[in-house]
Amino acid sequence: MQKLIVQRNQLEYVGFFSEPALGLWGEGAKILQGMFGAFSPYHISLADLHNDSSSLHPSDQVVTVKFGTIGEYRFKFDRVELMLHNFNKNSLFEVPKLLTAGDEWLRSVIPGFTFSSHYFSSLSHSELDHGTSQEFLRGLSSVDIPGVGVSEGSGIIFHWDLREQGWRVQFTIDHSLSVENGLFVNYLIRPSGDRIDYYEFVVQGTQLFERLLSEIGLEANDSAAEL
């Protein structure tokens, strides 16, 4: 079993609304107050709220709450987004709290609110504790196009339909373009339905991720950042 020594990682969540929240158009104070209240347990201040809108067009309106340098939560009129940078398991398990806080706020201010879809994606660039990405990927797959050159090993993208959970899963492993001789790993889950038990989702999603790594002979270490 080779260990992945994570150098950089990122988690992204996007929750798309069934209908644009146009009832909040012109209600900037309500949006700011609601987001400030929802995320106040993270000791945010007024300076952590940002209007990142690029124009007056409704699709360009963005209100962001920043959690230091670790992450941010964005409200748009058709979606919400959460991003964490360089997370570890401790900060990963803050994700359900953040998403639940945002979910409860949205349902409290938008009558009949529902999500149409959810997307969770994590990516990482890691060193290997021994060997190189070329050696690892050549051992993972022998697929090559002959007559081109010396194969450095090819990445693989796996796709699964987990019908019992209502998940579509994609798992990618390839060469990292930013860590020399390192591996790039991308893990994406699209759960179905409006409401999600975010805590249970993170538990099951993490367990599946660790299993997938193990099946191809890898084990991930933890990175250092926390919320």
* Tens digits of residue pLDDT in 54-83: 777 888 899 999 998 889 999 999 999 999
Tell whether the model's pLDDT for residue 147 goes beyond 60: yes
What ranges do the domains of the chain cover? 2-220
| Distance from the Cα of residue 217 to its chain's centroid | 23
Say what the pLDDT of residue 6 is: 92
What residue ranges in the chain does DSSP mark as E strands? Answer: 2-17, 49-51, 63-67, 71-75, 79-85, 115-128, 156-162, 167-175, 183-191, 218-220
- 158 Cβ contact list (under 8 Å, min separation 6): 169, 170, 171, 172, 212
Mean pLDDT of the chain: 92
Contact 136, 103 (CB under 8 A): no
The single-letter code of the amino acid at 134 is Q
- Checking if the pLDDT of 153 tops 60, the result is yes
- Determine the average pLDDT of the residues in 19-32: 92
User: Residue 202 in 3-state DSSP?
Assistant: helix
Max distance between CA atoms of the chain, in angstroms, equals 63
What are the CA-CA distances from residue 200 to residues 53, 54, 203, 215 (Å)?
33, 36, 5, 23
Name 31's Cβ contacts closer than 8 Å, sequence gap at least 6: 24, 63, 75
The values of phi and psi at residue 93, to 5°, are: -85, 5
Q: Give the pLDDT of residue 222.
A: 62
Do the strands 71-75 and 63-67 form a parallel or antiparallel pair, or are they unpaired?
Answer: antiparallel
Question: CB of 147 within 8 A of CB of 135?
Answer: no
Task: Please state, in angstroms and as integers, the Cα–Cα distance from residue 223 to each residue in 8, 87, 213, 220, following that order.
Answer: 8, 6, 16, 9
User: What phi and psi, each to the nearest 5 degrees, are found at residue 119?
Assistant: -135, 130
The model's pLDDT over 161-200, given as tens digits with 9 standing for 90+, comes to 999 999 999 999 999 999 999 999 999 999 999 999 999 9
